[in-house]
């Protein structure tokens, strides 16, 4: 029998996954010492196959949690460990842009591959790397996509809307969502000059009178989406909303989106946020069921 380990701040998603999958969700007790170090306590006995749920938004401390939890689970008898990270951090830095820079994708991928037999995530932010297996080379990686689920939401909330990707990296998700639900789509070109400085060029429309929904894997500062929305509204779009897999939303991001004229903000619950409108538990549970069946002896 499988079990699903989780931290208490993700108990809602863990419960949803466990209910759909048909396994028991077990919490990990977490204590912080006065000096900042962590103490974890897992269930005293574990089955051979164990899944750990940890979405890696605000990842730095959570990576230490994974080291402690995975090592302890092995000591308690787990022979096959799966990490479910609905959001997988440190994927954007896939090359060294300047001498001496850490290639965090490769290094974090190596860490995860050493801890887990399989890693399951949703819409990882891969750019110059084509597959998740290239980023996490030694594990058995599974990259799911929430794009069709977001497309279904858009089709129900904005029938006939045009999907627009704010940059070339979004093309894969926009195409998936559009094709799954018969929606028109376009992809913009982006030139980034800093963390919060971008220029967006719209492709040929038509946009006049159209309901447009921006779709991407994540939104962090909101500046790219805001520039795209402003350009679309200037081109005559009737409305602009946004749908993303990962609601990272740095401080001030939502205000930036609203000031640019964006109406609705929708996201999946890969990262808990008030904008969550799409549940990923069925998607993750289906993948976990396949993993369990493939590892049965």
Catalytic entry in 6, 185, 186, 190:
190
Q: Which residue reads 């790219």 in tokens?
A: 224
If we measure between CA atoms, which residue out of 297, 291, 281, 293 comes closest to residue 117? 291
Q: Tell me 2's DSSP state.
A: -
Separation of alpha carbons 216 and 134, rounded Å: 22
Q: Is position 190 annotated as part of the catalytic site?
A: yes
Sheet holding 265-268, edge to edge: 185-187, 162-165, 211-219, 239-247, 265-268, 276-278
Cα–Cα distances (Å) from 227 to 154, 186, 192, 201, 222, in that order, read 21, 15, 12, 9, 9
Separation of alpha carbons 163 and 183, rounded Å: 7
Contact predicate 85/136, CB 8 Å: no
Instruction: Tell me the pairing of strands 140-144 and 265-268.
Output: unpaired
CB-based contacts of 280, cutoff 8 Å, min separation 6:
13, 86, 122, 146, 149, 268, 269, 270
The pair of three-digit structure tokens given for residue 34, joined into one six-digit string: 């006065």
Contact predicate 167/134, CB 8 Å: no
- Give catalytic residue positions: 190
């Amino acid at each position: 029998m499988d079990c699903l380990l989780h931290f208490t701040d993700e108990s809602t998603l863990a419960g949803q996954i466990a209910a759909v999958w048909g396994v028991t969700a077990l919490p990990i007790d977490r204590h912080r010492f006065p000096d900042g170090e962590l103490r974890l306590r897992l269930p005293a006995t574990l089955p051979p196959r164990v899944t750990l749920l940890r979405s890696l938004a605000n990842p730095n401390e959570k990576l230490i949690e994974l080291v402690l939890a995975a090592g302890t689970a092995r000591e308690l008898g787990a022979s096959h460990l799966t990490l479910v990270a609905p959001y997988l951090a440190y994927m954007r830095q896939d090359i060294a842009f300047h001498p001496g820079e850490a290639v965090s994708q490769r290094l974090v991928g190596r860490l995860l591959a050493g801890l887990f037999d399989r890693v399951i995530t949703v819409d990882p932010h891969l750019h110059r790397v084509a597959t998740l297996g290239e980023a996490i080379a030694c594990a058995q990686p599974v990259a799911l996509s929430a794009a069709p689920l977001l497309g279904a939401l858009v089709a129900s909330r904005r029938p006939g809307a045009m999907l627009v990707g704010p940059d070339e990296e979004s093309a894969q998700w926009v195409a998936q969502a559009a094709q799954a639900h018969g929606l028109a789509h376009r992809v913009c070109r982006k030139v980034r000059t800093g963390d919060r400085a971008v220029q967006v060029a719209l492709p040929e429309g038509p946009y006049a009178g159209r309901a447009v929904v921006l779709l991407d894997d994540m939104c962090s500062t909101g500046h790219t989406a805001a520039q795209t929305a402003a350009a679309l509204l200037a081109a005559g779009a009737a409305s602009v909303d946004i749908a993303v897999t990962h609601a990272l939303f740095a401080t001030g991001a939502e205000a930036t989106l609203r000031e640019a004229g964006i109406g609705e903000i929708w996201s999946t619950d890969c990262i808990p946020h008030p904008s969550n409108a799409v549940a990923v538990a069925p998607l993750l549970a289906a993948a976990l069921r396949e993993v369990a069946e493939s590892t049965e002896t």
